Amino acid sequence: MANILLVEDDELVRDMLTQVLQRASHQVTVAANGEEALEALRNTQPDIMITDIIMPKMSGITLISEVKDKHPTMEVIAISGGGRLDPTGYLDLSESLGASASFEKPVNKSALLMAIDLLLHGKKDKIKGS
């Protein structure tokens, strides 16, 4: 079981991912944007942060950069539908900033849960298809 900070501005996606993570016995703290995520990080120390990239107020790219600066060992998973652009560029950038894995939306739930399990067990090099 992991303590996960889920950062997603789309309420339907946020609710769906929260249910998936809770069914897998993870504890989930939610934030609707990067600013809320930084506030949540003042009160909790998650094992993993899952963040959308395209969000209002603070992008996931900025959030990842700030989180990795302050919490360099925190595992980060980036997700993106890409907005008006192909999500691949955003996801590649997120990995260059320290995300351990990245997934295009709609997120493959089984692959996401497998990535979380691998990260919890220190096997980030085994994550495929991210």
Instruction: Render pLDDT for 79-97 as a digit per residue (tens, 0 to 9).
Output: 998 655 555 677 888 988 9
Where residue 120 sits, what CATH number does that domain have?
A: 3.40.50.2300
**Domain membership flag for residue 130:** no
From CA 80, how far away is CA 105, in angstroms rounded?
Answer: 6
Beta carbons of 31 and 43 less than 8 angstroms apart: no
- Percent of the chain exceeding pLDDT 70 equals 92
From CA 19, how far away is CA 26, in angstroms rounded?
Answer: 10
**Domain membership flag for residue 57:** yes
**Domain membership flag for residue 15:** yes
Nearest to 5 by CA among 38, 28, 36, 39: 28
The pTM of this model reads 0.92
Tokens of 90: 């955003």
From CA 112, how far away is CA 114, in angstroms rounded?
Answer: 5
Is 40 or 81 the better-scoring residue by pLDDT?
Answer: 40
From CA 23, how far away is CA 26, in angstroms rounded?
Answer: 7
Give the contacts of 51 (CB within 8 A, at least 6 positions apart).
6, 7, 8, 34, 37, 60, 63, 64, 76, 77, 78, 79
Nearest to 52 by CA among 72, 26, 32: 32
Q: Which domain holds residue 81?
A: 3-125
Which tens digits make up the pLDDT trace of 113-129? 999 999 999 887 777 64
The total number of structural domains in the chain stands at 1
Give the contacts of 93 (CB within 8 A, at least 6 positions apart).
61
**Domain membership flag for residue 36:** yes
